[in-house]
């Protein structure tokens, strides 16, 4: 039987906290600080690991929806070109038999396509189209930032913690 990721990460945290941390010279503040950062990062990974694929799939779905919205509302060559790739890229994200890295690479291509669309819109003479693209991208960004904040909430660095959702809530909201 293979121990699960959660147990293995917990064991690393416990070893670092119970054995390594007490052995580190407390006068070496940089070493103590770095050790606390490693422990905190492992705790964050432990919170995130069950949601990593779901997060990437939600990201892909929302980016594809944004590209489709822009293509439907504004006539931009970059939007039409991006839309031609969205079916394939979303199919990659929704597969169970690909690595998380493969899904992230597909998402990086979607992000690049959105960047090209926004650049195309900004170069356009159509002021109304530029505004519409900006509005759609900002609406998408608000939801994306909410998911990203939830994903790293365990760091405790959020300036508005009372507005945070759980990771699961943020992913369910993505649809």
What digits encode the pLDDT tens for the residues 10-52? 999 999 999 999 999 999 999 999 999 999 999 999 989 999 9
pLDDT above 80: residue 175: no
How distant, in Å, are the alpha carbons of 49, 59, 81, 112 from that of 115? 28, 15, 13, 5
* pLDDT at residue 154, as a whole number: 86
**What would the two tokens of residue 175 be?**
């649809």
* Global pTM value: 0.85
**What would the two tokens of residue 136 be?**
């759609």
- Cβ-contact 43, 13 below 8 angstroms: yes
CA distance 86 to 88: 5
């Amino acid at each position: 039987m293979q121990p699960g990721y959660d147990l293995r990460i917990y064991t690393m945290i416990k070893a670092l906290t119970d054995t390594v941390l007490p052995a580190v010279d407390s006068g070496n503040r940089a070493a103590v600080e770095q050790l606390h950062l490693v422990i905190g990062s492992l705790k964050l990974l432990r919170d995130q690991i069950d949601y990593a694929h779901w997060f990437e799939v939600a990201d892909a779905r929302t980016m594809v929806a944004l590209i489709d919205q822009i293509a439907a509302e504004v006539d931009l060559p970059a939007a039409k070109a991006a839309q031609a790739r969205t079916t394939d890229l979303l199919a990659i994200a929704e597969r169970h038999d690909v690595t998380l890295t493969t899904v992230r690479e597909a998402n990086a291509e979607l992000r690049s396509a959105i960047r090209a669309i926004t650049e195309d819109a900004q170069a356009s003479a159509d002021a109304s189209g530029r505004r519409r693209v900006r509005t759609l991208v900002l609406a998408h960004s608000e939801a994306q930032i909410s998911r990203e904040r939830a994903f790293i909430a365990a760091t405790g660095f959020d300036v508005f913690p009372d507005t945070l959702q759980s990771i699961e809530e943020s992913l369910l909201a993505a649809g």
